Structure 1
Amino acid sequence: MKHLFLIALLFVCTTLHGIAQELPQVLVFSKTKGFRHDSIEKGAEAIQKLGREHGFSVYHTEDAGVFTDDQLQKYKAIVFLSTTGDILNPEQQAAFERFIQAGNGFVGIHAASDTEYDWPWYGKMVGGYFASHPEVQTADIHVHDHSHLATQHLPEIWKHKDEWYDFKDLNPAVNLLMTIDEKSYKGGKMGDYHPVSWHHTYDGGRAFYTALGHTKETYDDADFLQHIAGGITYALGKPANK
């Protein structure tokens, strides 16, 4: 009887291991060389929970040494979670470029746009660079595309509290998902056209970016978490809409 139990246990463990191996793997990277957001740790935990709920496995690190061809080949998407500054050396940058060119995906959250200002390839992929921001406050987000997995659950106007980035060097080739209404808050500097989330195919892969995600409280917001889950699912290669 004990022998049969051990065989059954081995079968279950082997099966679970096989299922885990089949899940697409996502690398969450949160290295900072500039301002460090105190929401990073909570954000990483939230993405790990999203992985369990949506069928992908998550590895979180701040070690740039993972950016080699050999190590990146296990992943299908990379999330830059409020990274800041110059975080990859030229060899690591080249490995990341080859990762995207191989058909994989990228997700940038909040300060991912405050990263690698001297790497033009990255700037075009993320879709724009951070320029400035006012204080954290509630504002009206206008959803322009409800067909995408990251926005299909949201209302036409989504009231949300966050830190609202102004951008420079926006890539005109991205597909707009959401803009923010500067009349609904104080301190915006972009005028009538102020995008805060977008996606596009880029250099053989897929990229999604959202400016949201500054505060710890954001990672308790079900709508924001679904927004992130949709972006990751898109980056993993699922169709942008159902």
Structure 2
Amino acid sequence: MRKLIKILLWSVLGLIVLLGGAMAVFVYKVKHGFPVSYETETPKIDFPNDRPAILLFSKTTGFRHSGSIDASKPIIADLAKKNGWFLYETEEGGVFNAEQLSKFKTVIFNNSTGRVLNDEQQKALEQYVENGGNLIGIHGAGDNSHEWSWYVKNLLGAEFSHHPLKPQFQKTDVLVDAQADSSITAQIPQPWSHTDEWYVFFENPRKKGFKILYTINGETIIPNGNVPILASDKNFGMGKDHPVAWCKQIGKGKTFYTSMGHDESVWTDPNFVKLIENAIVWTFK
């Protein structure tokens, strides 16, 4: 009997170790990306001469926010139709070449996670923005899985730490910031109530010269993102001044990022959709 109990205990311990190892590998892959392949074939795109072009890029090699990505595409297509934009939607990185990027007014990283572009493609996007192009990032585009210092410095201004887990989704008021560009906040109620997975960053992008557009009061949410054994140091938030949307002039171009946008429900929130529409329009100016 003792021998049987001993075997069972060792079996349980072995299972726990295996599960712990598997979880550790998964967390590492979420943070640093899964195995990556880079598309290098230049796509054929017929750019119209009379409409501003937008590139909607939704490739993921890290965690995939499939609900939000799938819900966003028809909504952004409707915005393009409404505003007379030409929308090119892809998950293929071959479009990130200097010649084709120069024909887009704005590039949107639509919950794009992980290492999605090779070194040459990254450099092409950097030069595109610095020479007058525009880059928008939504939610997962800021999850620190891209391994790209220029991107973190110029789109995010801060390094992602974690998001709350208990509960993961929380409702709070989104507050317009005193320094906000009124063209981006136009026609959006002040404040407005929103439920999302609120990203926590290690520092405030305000300190890096970004213009903050919207914040939440970080003291109104439970920011704890601790995962036993794997990440036991994530029981902190950003405090009362918790930015959730910001922008910056980068060279001759512009960047805009919002940490909102986790799942499909955000695309039924007219205030969130209006924020994305306003941000795109703002990049045209």
Which TM-score applies when normalising by structure 1?
A: 0.84
Deviations 1:131-189 (A, max 9, x none): 21110121121111464322122233221011100113554111011111123222261
Indicate the SS of the match to 2:185: coil
1:227, 1:52 → 2: CA distance? 17
Match of residue 78, structure 1, among 107, 111, 114: 107
1:183, 1:115 → 2: CA distance? 24
Contact between 2:202 and 2:238, CA under 8 Å: does it hold in 1?
no
Aligned to 2:244: 196
2:241, 2:219 → 1: CA distance? 12
Contact between 1:111 and 1:130, CA under 8 Å: does it hold in 2?
no
Contact between 2:113 and 2:146, CA under 8 Å: does it hold in 1?
no
Aligned identity (percent) is: 37
Aligned to 1:129: 159
Shift of 1:86: 1.0
Amino acid paired to 2:278:
G
Shift of 1:64: 0.8
Shift of 1:33: 0.9
Contact between 1:112 and 1:126, CA under 8 Å: does it hold in 2?
no
Shift of 1:115: 4.8
Amino acid paired to 2:261:
G
Contact between 1:86 and 1:115, CA under 8 Å: does it hold in 2?
no
Gaps of 5+ in 2: 1-46, 225-236
**Which structure carries more strand by proportion?**
1
**1:50 correspondence with 2:79:** yes
Match of residue 173, structure 1, among 209, 222, 229: 209
1:129, 1:204 → 2: CA distance? 24
1:125, 1:49 → 2: CA distance? 29
Cα 1:169–1:88 shift into 2, 3 Å: farther
1:148, 1:46 → 2: CA distance? 23
1:116, 1:122 → 2: CA distance? 11
1:205, 1:169 → 2: CA distance? 24
Shift of 1:73: 2.0
Once superposed, which parts of structure 1, at least 4 consecutive aligned residues long, lie more than 3 Å away?
Answer: none
Aligned to 1:9: none
2:93, 2:144 → 1: CA distance? 14
Match of residue 89, structure 1, among 107, 118, 127: 118
Match of residue 34, structure 1, among 62, 76, 79: 62
Shift of 1:48: 1.2
Aligned Cα root-mean-square deviation (Å): 1.8
Aligned to 1:4: none
Match of residue 151, structure 1, among 167, 185, 202: 185
Which TM-score applies when normalising by structure 2?
A: 0.72
